Amino acid sequence: MSKVTCVACKHQIDEAARICPYCGADPVSGHKIDTQAMVQEVFQPRRLSKTESILEYARNRQGMFIGATVVAAFLILAALHQLVTVRNDSAVSADPAVPLTEVADLSQPEEKPVPMPELKFRYDGEPKKMRTFVVEPGAVTPPEVIQQQTQTSGPPQQQ
């Protein structure tokens, strides 16, 4: 590699260099060059909006951002818990409890509960065909059911 002497600072630099690494000038003419303009011309940095810059900042500092978010969520939950606790303490009455007999309407007559009807079981010998019938006063068995029962089991048996 051949060496050339910079006119501005008199340092030995590579002949292919277009800028002196020591002083930043053109090694042939000695004029100072604006390196920032050259860098921007070559790389052309993109301008970010405010929203994009915030998101870029968050991406660069993910750990810190996640930690701050967790701390903020914890503080919000703690404040909410404190608010509910204070509200519950102030909303509770110090008066003695009122018995339900004073609150309930006892003027209605008591109704006697209706007993369950007697359940009559019919068993055809196969567990899959076991049926339960509830007999109600005035209920009539449909003719199709009576016909089907007589065909499968013969005449009805008396108990």
> Does the pTM exceed 0.75?
no
Greater confidence (109 vs 67) lies with 67
pLDDT for position 88: 78
Range in 56-65, 70-79, 95-104, 128-137 the model is least confident about? 128-137
pLDDT for position 159: 45
Residue 129 has pLDDT above 60, yes or no: no
Strand segments (E) across the chain: 3-5, 12-14, 119-122, 131-134
Mean pLDDT confidence for 62-70: 85
Residue 156 has pLDDT above 60, yes or no: no
Q: pLDDT tens across 73-121, in order? A: 999 999 999 998 888 777 667 777 777 777 776 666 677 778 877 777 6
Task: Provide the pLDDT confidence category of residue 133 given band limits of 50, 70 and 90.
Answer: low
Q: Is the dihedral of CA 22, 23, 27, 33 positive or negative?
A: positive
Q: pLDDT tens across 4-55, in order? A: 999 989 999 998 888 888 888 888 888 887 777 777 777 776 676 777 777 7
pLDDT for position 92: 67
Domain boundary assignment for the chain:
3-43, 50-87, 119-149
Q: How far is CA 53 from CA 46, 63, 147, in A?
A: 11, 17, 85
Residue recorded with tokens 């930043």: 24
Mean pLDDT confidence for 131-145: 74
